[in-house]
Amino acid sequence: MRIDSVLTYLYERQLFNGTVLIGSKSKEVYKKAFGISDSRSGAMLSTTSPFNLASVSKQFYTMMVMMLREQGKLNYDDHVQKYLPIFPYPDITIRQLMNQTSGLPEYFDLVDFHRGLLDTLTNQSLLELLAQMKPSLEFKPGEKWQYCNTNYTTLASVIEKYRVFLLTVFSSFTLQNR
């Protein structure tokens, strides 16, 4: 298969490290892993190796908020404090989190300064750090657009309030890890 020779070529030149799955009509056409999963241990990737989704998850969070709105559980223009009372910014709405116009500071900067390298950061601990430190907003909510991961970690905390509802919805999808 041509894709295999292209990916092997890229991998051998250290231009690709990852897994590939190509499917057609519910059948696997191509599935292969290239490279290592952990640079410290040298463990090789497999087609079942877990990956941190990072920013890819933002589209799923947005869809969950849309589902919650459709069910009347929340509204886009609700203030975040309605769901997260310790959230220290009373004027920020769910819509502003979703469209990156909240003005929140990037949490990486806060964590680097206020936590140790080995500290585990959870959505709850980030929320508590924001409440404790109350860092200044980068701009007035709704005034500008700025990509910021803090928006979606905060949005995840709002979504967690409805985890039982969402688990019920998503359990009907029969997702499989093969």
As a whole number of angstroms, the distance between CA 158 and CA 94 comes to 9
- Determine which one of 26, 37, 55, 171 is catalytic: 55
As a whole number of angstroms, the distance between CA 26 and CA 33 comes to 20
Give the residues across from 34 on adjacent strands. 18
The packing angle between helices 149-160 and 58-70, to 10°, is 40
For residue 102 the two structure tokens come to: 């909240």
Side-chain-facing half-sphere of 110: CA atoms under 13 Å: 21
Known catalytic residue at 39: no
Q: Which are the catalytic amino acids?
A: 55
